[in-house]
Amino acid sequence: MIHGNRLILGTVLMFAAGLTTAADENAAKKEAAKESPTKLEIKGTFEAGKTAEISLSPKAWTTCITSKAVRHGAIVKRGQPIVWLDTEKLEEQIKTAENALALSTLALKQSELDLQIAQSRQPLDLNVAKKAKATTDESLSYFLTTELPRLKATTKRILDSAKFRLEYAQEEFDQLEKMYKADDLTEETEELILKQARRAIDARKFSLDSVTISTRRKLNHDLPKQQAGLVDAAKSGGLDYHHTRATAPLTLAKKKLEHEKTAQDRKKAAEKLGKLKKDRQLAIIKAPIDGIVYYGRASRGKWSDKTKVDSQLRPGGTVTPKQVFITIVSQQPLMVRVNLEEKNLHRIRPGMAGVATPIGFPGKHLDVNVVRISRIPIAAGVFDCLLRVKPSVRPSAIRPGMTCTVTFPTKSKKSKAKGNK
C-alpha cells in the first residue's frame, strides 16, 4: 500500500516538473522572438546615384526671363537644350555697356591730355605767380619811396602857384590904383584898367579855391586810396603766389588720381561688357548629362520647390540666379535613401544585402546592398543610410523620388541555438 502511494506521488512530481520546463521554454521563445525579430523593415526613397544640378550664375545679366523650357520628367541627352532664355533685355544691357565703354574711352583720352597739360603748366603757373608778386611788390615800393612824395610835393607846388598868382594880381591892382590917383589920365581909362585888374583877382581867387579843394582831395583821399590799392595788390600777389606754390602739387596729384579713376572706370566698363557678352552663352541651357529632367532640387531623394520652379520656367517667368531650378537625374545607378533609427544601428552594416519593394509596384523586389551609414546622426536618433540597387534587376518604371520598403533578413536566437546544436 505504502509502495503504491509512493509511486503515485513520484508520477505526480515528474508530471509537474515537466509542465514547469515546458512553460519556461515557451516564455524563453517568446522573449527571444521579441528581442530579435526575423526581419527588419525600413521605409526608403529611391534616388539617383548621379545627378547634375542646373542653376544660373550670370556675371552681369540682371533679369533672366524664360522663353521656354522642356517639361518636368522629360528624358534628355547630354548637350540637348533644355531651357531657352529671352535675350531682349540682355541685348539692351550690352548696347548700353558698349556706349558706356565708348564714353569712358573718350573720357580717358581727355584725362590723359588734361594730365599732360597740368604737368606742363605747373612750373609755368608758379613762374607767373612769382612774377606777378614781384611786380606788385615793386609797384608798391616805387610808389612809397618815389611817386608818393613827388605827387605830394607837386600838389603842394600847384597850390602855392595858385596863391602866388593871386598875390601877384592883388599887388598889380594895388599899384595901378596908386598910379592912377597920381597921374592925369582920363577917369574912363582908369576905370577900365582897374576893372580888368579886379577881374584878374577874382579869377585868381577862384583858381586858388579850386586848387585848394583838389589838393585836399588828392592828399587826403586820392593818394591814400592809390596807396591802399597798391598795398592790397601786393598782398594779393603774395597770397596768389603762396597759394599757387602750395596747391600746384595738390592739383597735379588730383589730376593723377582723376586719371587713374577714369582708367579704372574704363576698365570696369570693358569688364562689364565682356561679362554681358559672356552671359549670352547662358541664353540656351543644355543638359550636362543624359537623364531625366526634374524641376527643383533634390535633398536625400525628396524634391522641393517644384511649384515655385514651375512658375519660373513658364514663358515670361524669371529665373533666380544661383538657385537650382532643374536637376538632371541619371537613370543609372539607382540608389535608396533610408532613415535608420539609432536602435537598429547594430543590426545594419555596410555591405549587408536586403530587398527593396517599391510601394507602387509591390510585386517587384529589388536586391540592394548597404553602401554607407553616416557616422553622426542627421536628426535626433536618426542616421543616414544609403543603399545601391543592383542594375541587372532594375525595373524601368522605377524613378527617383518614388518610395519603397526595404527588408533586411536577420537571424533569431532560436536559429542560432539550432545552429549551435
Domain boundaries, the chain: 35-48+333-421, 51-80+287-329, 91-279
Q: Can you tell me which residue has the cell 593871386?
A: 166
Taking alpha carbons only, the member of 287, 279, 155, 284 closest to residue 222 is 155
Angle between helix 413-420 and helix 2-35 axes, rounded to 10 deg: 120
**Mean pLDDT value of segment 97-124:** 92
**Mean pLDDT value of segment 325-350:** 91
CA 136 to chain centre: 54
pLDDT the model gives residue 42: 95
pLDDT the model gives residue 328: 92
**Mean pLDDT value of segment 289-315:** 84
CA–CA gap between residue 360 and residue 370 (Å, rounded): 22
Q: In what order do the strands lie in the sheet with 291-295?
A: 51-54, 326-329, 291-295, 75-76
Residue 234 has pLDDT above 90, yes or no: no
pLDDT the model gives residue 25: 53
Between residues 27 and 55, the one the model is more confident about: 55
pLDDT band at 8 (very low <50, low <70, confident <90, very high): very low
Cα distances (Å, whole numbers) of residue 103 to 266, 271, 275, 327: 9, 14, 18, 43
Q: How many other CB atoms are found less than 10 A from the CB of residue 370?
A: 21
Kindly report whether the peptide bond that precedes residue 333 is cis, defined as omega within 30 degrees of 0: yes
Residue 257 has pLDDT above 90, yes or no: yes
CA–CA gap between residue 419 and residue 421 (Å, rounded): 5
CA–CA gap between residue 149 and residue 155 (Å, rounded): 10
Between residues 236 and 175, the one the model is more confident about: 236
Enumerate the β-bridge partners of residue 408. Answer: 40
The dihedral over CA atoms of 54, 55, 57, 61, expressed in degrees to the nearest 10, equals 110
Enumerate the β-bridge partners of residue 328. Answer: 52, 293
Domain covering 91-279 in this structure, CATH number: 1.10.287
How confident is the prediction for the chain on average, in pLDDT? 83
Residue 388 · residue 371 · CB < 8 Å: yes
State phi, psi for 44 to the nearest 5 degrees.
-140, 170
**Percentage of residues in the chain having pLDDT higher than 70:** 85
**Mean pLDDT value of segment 319-337:** 89
Residue 15 has pLDDT above 70, yes or no: no
**Mean pLDDT value of segment 38-48:** 90
Residue 353 has pLDDT above 90, yes or no: yes
Residue 2 has pLDDT above 50, yes or no: no
What is the helix (H) or strand (E) element at residue 395, kind and residue range?
A: none
Q: Name the 3-class secondary structure at 305.
A: coil
Q: What is the CA radius of gyration of the chain?
A: 59
pLDDT the model gives residue 189: 66
Retrieve residue 265's grid coordinates.
572706370
pLDDT band at 23 (very low <50, low <70, confident <90, very high): low
pLDDT band at 220 (very low <50, low <70, confident <90, very high): confident
Residue ranges with strand state E in 70-224 = 75-76, 81-86
Pairing label, strands 334-341, 39-48: antiparallel
pLDDT band at 7 (very low <50, low <70, confident <90, very high): very low
What is the topology classification, in CATH, of domain 35-48+333-421? Elongation Factor Tu (Ef-tu); domain 3 (2.40.30)
**Mean pLDDT value of segment 8-17:** 44
Alpha helices in 280-384 (DSSP H): 306-312
Where is average pLDDT lowest: 124-138, 142-156, 166-180, 255-269? 166-180
pLDDT the model gives residue 158: 84
pLDDT the model gives residue 20: 45
Residue 34 has pLDDT above 60, yes or no: no
pLDDT the model gives residue 419: 45
Sequence-distant contacts of 223-232: CB under 8 A, at least 24 apart: 223/148, 223/151, 223/152, 226/143, 227/143, 227/144, 227/148, 230/136, 230/139, 230/140, 230/143, 231/140
Residue 147 · residue 254 · CB < 8 Å: no
Q: Name the 3-class secondary structure at 29.
A: helix
pLDDT digits (tens, 9 = 90+) for 369-401: 999 999 999 999 999 999 999 876 555 688 888
Between residues 148 and 284, the one the model is more confident about: 284
Residue 358 · residue 402 · CB < 8 Å: yes
Q: Can you tell me which residue has the cell 524613378?
A: 399
pLDDT digits (tens, 9 = 90+) for 150-192: 888 888 888 788 888 878 878 877 777 777 676 655 566 667 7
Residue 292, C-beta contacts closer than 8 angstroms, at least 6 positions apart = 73, 74, 75, 76, 328, 329, 331, 399, 400
pLDDT the model gives residue 188: 65
Where is average pLDDT lowest: 135-144, 256-265, 294-303, 360-369? 294-303
pLDDT the model gives residue 9: 44
pLDDT the model gives residue 182: 63
CA–CA gap between residue 224 and residue 144 (Å, rounded): 11
pLDDT the model gives residue 274: 94
Where is average pLDDT lowest: 15-29, 212-226, 243-257, 351-365? 15-29
